[in-house]
Chain A
Amino acid sequence: MLDASEGYTTEDGRTIGGVVMEMKHITLRFGGVVAIKDISFDIREGEIRAIIGPNGAGKSSMLNVISGFYNPQEGQVFYKGELRPQMKPYQVARQGIARTFQNIALFDGMSVLDNIMTGRIRQMEAGLFAQAIWKGKAEREEVKNREAVEKIVDFLEIQHIRKTPVGRLPYGLKKRVELARALAAEPSILLLDEPMAGMNVEEKEDMSRFILDVNDEFGTTIALIEHDMGVVMDLSDRVVVMDYGKKIGDGTPDEVRSNQAVIDAYLGVAHD
Chain B
Amino acid sequence: MPEQFIWGMEVFLNGLMAGVLYALVALGFVLIFKASGIFNFSQGVMALFAALTLVGIMEGQVPFSHLINAVFGTEIHHFGWHVPALAAILLTMVVMILLAWLVNHFIFRHLVNQEPIILFMATIGLAYFLEGFGDIMWGADIKKLDVGLPQGINTTIDEVTYNLFGYGFFIDNLDLWATFIAILLVIGLVLFAQYSKHGRAMRAVADDHQAALSVGISLNFIWVMVWSLAGFVAIVAGIMWGTKSGVQFSLSLIALKALPVLMLGGFTSIPGAIVGGLIIGVGEKLFEFTFGGMMGGATENWFAYVLALIVLVFRPQGLFGEKIIERV
A interface residues with partner B (beta carbon < 8 Å): 67, 69, 88-91, 93-94, 98-99, 101, 105-110, 114, 117-122, 124, 126, 128, 131-132, 134, 138, 141-142, 181-182, 185
Contacts and interface: CB of A to CB of B under 8 A. Distances in A.
A96 to B, nearest CB: 9
A121 B197 contact: yes
Nearest to B189: A132
B218 A90 contact: yes
A106 to B, nearest CB: 6
Given A118-B200, A121-B197, A131-B196, A90 B219 contact: yes
B219 A121 contact: no
Contacts of B219: 90
B322 A109 contact: yes
A263 B98 CA distance: 60
The 10 closest A-B pairs by CB, nearest first: A93-B216, A105-B211, A107-B207, A89-B213, A131-B196, A94-B216, A124-B197, A105-B210, A90-B218, A118-B204
A216 to B, nearest CB: 24
B216 A90 contact: yes
A88 B201 contact: no
Interface in B200-234: 200-201, 203-204, 206-208, 210-219, 225
Contacts of A109: 203, 206-207, 322
B207 A101 contact: no
A99 B68 CA distance: 55
Given A93-B213, A105-B211, A109-B203, A88 B195 contact: no
B192 interface: yes
Nearest to A96: B216
Secondary structure dominating the interface of A? helix
Interface residues of B, number: 27
Contact of A90 (B188, B196, B217): B217
A226 to B, nearest CB: 19
Contacts of A120: 197
Given A128-B198, A128-B225, A110 B204 contact: yes
B74 to A, nearest CB: 40
A134 B191 CA distance: 9
A122 B203 contact: no
Contact of B207 (A69, A94, A108, A121): A108
B277 interface: no
B216 A121 contact: yes
A107 B198 contact: no
Nearest to B228: A128
B211 A101 contact: yes
A89 to B, nearest CB: 4
A93 B215 contact: yes
A121 B201 contact: yes
